[in-house]
Amino acid sequence: MSSDFTAHAKAILIGEHAVVYGADALSVPLTSLTLTARVEADPAGPTLNTEGYCGDFDEAPQLFSGIRFLFTELVEKPGRDTRVRLTFDSHIPMARGLGSSAASALATIRALNSYYGLNLSEPEIISLGNRAEDIVHGKASGLDLQTVNSDQLVSFNKESGFTHIPGNLDAWLVIADTGVEGSTKEAVAMVRDQRDSSPLMRHRLDELGTLSRRAKQAWNQKDSLQLGTIFDAAQEILVSFGISTSTIDKLVDVARDAGALGAKLSGSGLGGVVIALANTRELAHNVAQALRPHAHGVWVEQL
């Protein structure tokens, strides 16, 4: 007997960094980029089977501390057979702001839920996922978990929490991996230092928040041309904070030269991914083709 669950990735469309100071962040599910967790009986278990580590659950690297927590919380109870193997098959690159840890937490919970017949409620699943995320990242907003668990655009604001926004944009998002891990801690500190010491940079951060609000309107009006312009304006501000890199700049330039409606970094910056917008499948294909020689991976998502 085995149980598996496939979860998808996510990308922040806009609002990164500004969200730390109260603005909205918009996060979109990337259903073309997935990770599967499978639970099956294993007499040598509990064991973990991943690309990077294969072996005893208790000796798994720190990276899997959230998964270890989930296993303890859900499985290590009197009367439950813990002799299982947990296998991950992931296509989501790690530490790129694509929600790989949230996707692995969600897939693990749902696969264990089904294997052991735990009957967890949706709020229990979200709460467990967030606790696993907090172990890996420190206190997180929960945006990653909400988005990897949704098929809709998710808006997050520190004050009002999460809103799921139904409907499509009728456009395509091209995602290009720099191949470099983003550094959330460092990037957030860089932005904070500049905001605290310069009224101009504080104003720019407010501008990012305004762009995020306008992006939500553009989404609701299915105005991809407008959203592309907003992407470019946001990128200019993110560059001014020094959290873009030469690789990010290159990918943004290549996407724009190939005709993208707009392009920007997504997530913390200092690595991670670039996202570019296209209003036809053909344009998305051309942008992806142009990016491929310069990126570590390129994916296309219909929005």
Residue ranges that bind ligand MEV, judged by CB under 6 A: 12, 16-17, 19-20, 97, 141, 184, 187-188, 267-268
Cβ atoms of 261 and 231 within 8 Å: the answer is yes
Tell me whether residue 42 is one of the annotated catalytic residues: no
Q: What percent helix, strand, coil does the chain show, rounded to 5?
A: 45, 25, 30
Residue among 50 and 101 whose Cβ is closer to ligand MEV: 101
Residues 6+ apart with CB under 8 A from 124: none
Cα distances from 53 to residues 4, 87, 162, in angstroms, run: 19, 10, 34
Query: Can you point out the beta strands (E) in the chain?
Result: 2-14, 25-41, 47-49, 54-56, 84-90, 153-157, 161-165, 172-177, 262-266, 273-278, 297-302
**Least CB distance to ligand MEV at residue 189 (A):** 11
Rounded CA separation 51/167 (Å): 36
Residue among 84 and 173 whose Cβ is closer to ligand MEV: 173
**Least CB distance to ligand MEV at residue 26 (A):** 12
Residues 6+ apart with CB under 8 A from 200: none
Q: Which of 24, 144, 177, 223 is catalytic?
A: 144
Rounded CA separation 67/57 (Å): 9
Residues 6+ apart with CB under 8 A from 182: 95, 96, 97, 267, 268, 269, 270, 271, 272
**Least CB distance to ligand MEV at residue 98 (A):** 10
Q: Which amino acid, one-letter code, is at 186?
A: E
Residue among 161 and 167 whose Cβ is closer to ligand MEV: 161
Residue among 27 and 87 whose Cβ is closer to ligand MEV: 27
The DSSP code for 79 is T
Residue among 115 and 156 whose Cβ is closer to ligand MEV: 156
Orientation of helix 184-197 relative to helix 199-220, angle to 10° = 120
Rounded CA separation 102/142 (Å): 9
Residue among 118 and 180 whose Cβ is closer to ligand MEV: 180
Residue carrying the six token digits 């997180």? 140
Q: Parallel, antiparallel, or unpaired: how do β-strands 47-49 and 84-90 relate?
A: parallel
- Catalytic residue numbers read 144
